[in-house]
């Protein structure tokens, strides 16, 4: 593997000139620049990242902590984050925490010296712990709002509100909500919104779950929800909804004739054949990109830079998967 010195020799300049030419081209004269580049090219030079990290104190890595990779919402965020980071020559280390607070803290500690910043997807640790971690390294939070930290969330509760309104309009009174993991900040927010809506309308909401956001869990909950007599079902995420609808199919329960359905995100719901399903569309990829941009700002900007977080808007897709309740037909 060619080193900086090899390139310097090849180009007939000093090592520092090569270093400058390659990382701050504007500090070098045109002809030198070209000569260095040519030499580097010829030798197939690639800067040793460890050496660079040692001098600069920056590794070029960001860590993205995710509860799991099976949830397509997370894997979408992760893929997008990685893609954007790659454009500026950085890499994203994805670490799976299992949604466990201890594991999360552990990973944070282990990675602290290896990365330039952290993005935490739906972290479960206490706000105090997260802020403490942020004192040591730039850190942004995804899918949860932590005062004092740059947070990126999606306005899913607002979107759900729109869906509730539509259900009221259609004449539903008994609505099921199939809840996601209890440790999820977003699920809490969604339930709050739901309770609020229920309070100011004739809507009765029955909460089912909480469950892990997996296909099989949605399927497992389907019968109970149907038996409860609810005429509409809102679901924590699309994976659960698909699972529930899968079971509806086997049970002979029809959508929307027998039950109206909508989910809180639409990963995997897209491109489904047949009539589209109502959903609150959350830009999972946008979330990943926003987190990375913020981290880049924090790392490149003056120390202590703390970019504003954002709440990304959702798109509410209301389709014929919402219909008047059976009893309302007569």
Sheet holding 232-235, edge to edge: 204-208, 174-178, 232-235, 260-263, 278-281, 315-317
Q: Which does 29 bind (CB under 5 to 8 A by kind): a copy of itself, DNA, none?
A: DNA
Can residue 302 be called a binding residue for a copy of itself (CB under 8 A)? no
Shortest distance, position 37 Cβ to DNA, whole Å: 12
Are the C-beta atoms of residues 151 and 144 closer than 8 Å to each other? yes
Work out the widest C-alpha separation in the chain, in whole angstroms: 90
Nearer to DNA, 33 or 149 (CB): 33
170 binds, among a copy of itself, DNA, none (CB under 5 to 8 A by kind): none
Strand order through the sheet with 139-142: 91-96, 61-66, 117-121, 139-142, 150-154, 310-312
Determine the 3-state secondary structure of 61 from DSSP.
strand
Which of DNA, a copy of itself, none does residue 59 bind (CB under 5 to 8 Å by kind)? a copy of itself
Binds DNA by CB under 7 A, chosen from 17, 82, 150, 151: 17
Please say which residue, 51 or 195, places its beta carbon nearer to DNA.
Answer: 51
* DSSP 3-state of 228: coil
Residues 216-255 as x/- pattern, contact with a copy of itself by CB under 8 A: xx-xx-xx------------------x--xxxxxx-x---
Q: Which of 265, 209, 208 is nearest to 242 (CA)?
A: 265
Q: How far apart are CA 150 and CA 139, in angstroms?
A: 8
Residues 246-265 that bind DNA (CB under 7 A): none
DSSP reduced 3-state for 309: coil
Q: Please, what is the minimum distance in Å from the beta carbon of residue 321 to a copy of itself?
A: 12
Instruction: Indicate whether 128 belongs to the interface with a copy of itself (CB under 8 A).
Output: no
The residues, any chain, with a CB within 8 Å of residue 200's CB and separated by 6 or more, are none
Residues at the contact surface with DNA, assessed by CB under 7 A: 1, 3-5, 13-17, 19-20, 22-23, 27-29, 31-32, 45-48, 51-52, 54-56
Residues at the contact surface with a copy of itself, assessed by CB under 8 A: 1, 46-51, 53-54, 59, 68-70, 72, 75-76, 78-79, 82-83, 91, 93-96, 111-114, 214-217, 219-220, 222-223, 242, 245-250, 252, 268, 270-274
């Amino acid at each position: 593997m060619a080193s900086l010195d090899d390139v310097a020799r090849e180009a007939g300049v000093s090592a520092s000139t090569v270093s400058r030419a390659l990382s701050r081209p504007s500090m070098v004269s045109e002809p030198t620049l070209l000569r260095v580049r040519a030499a580097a090219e010829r030798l197939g030079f690639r800067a040793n990242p460890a050496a660079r990290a040692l001098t600069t104190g920056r590794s070029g890595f960001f860590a993205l902590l995710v509860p799991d990779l099976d949830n397509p919402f997370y894997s979408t965020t992760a893929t997008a984050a990685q893609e954007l980071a790659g454009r500026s020559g950085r890499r994203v280390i994805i670490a799976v925490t299992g949604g466990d607070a201890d594991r999360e803290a552990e990973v944070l500690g282990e990675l602290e010296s290896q990365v330039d910043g952290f993005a935490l997807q739906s972290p479960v640790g206490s706000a105090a712990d997260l802020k403490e971690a942020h004192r040591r390294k730039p850190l942004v939070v995804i899918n949860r709002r932590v005062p004092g930290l740059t947070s990126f969330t999606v306005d899913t509760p607002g979107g759900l509100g729109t869906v509730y309104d539509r259900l009221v309009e259609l004449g539903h009174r008994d609505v099921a909500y199939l809840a996601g993991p209890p440790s999820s900040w977003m699920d809490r927010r969604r339930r709050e919104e739901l309770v609020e809506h229920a309070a100011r309308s004739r809507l009765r909401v029955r909460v089912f779950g909480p469950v892990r956001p997996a296909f099989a869990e949605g399927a497992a909950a389907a019968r109970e929800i149907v038996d409860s007599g609810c005429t509409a079902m809102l679901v924590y995420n699309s994976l659960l909804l698909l699972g529930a609808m899968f079971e509806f199919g086997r049970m002979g329960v029809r959508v929307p004739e027998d039950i109206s359905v909508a989910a809180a995100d639409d990963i995997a719901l897209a491109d489904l054949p047949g009539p589209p399903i109502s959903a609150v569309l959350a830009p999972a990829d946008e979330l990943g990109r926003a987190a990375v941009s913020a981290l880049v700002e924090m790392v490149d900007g003056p120390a202590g830079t703390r970019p504003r977080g954002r709440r990304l808007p959702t798109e509410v897709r209301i389709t014929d998967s919402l219909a008047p309740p059976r009893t309302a037909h007569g």
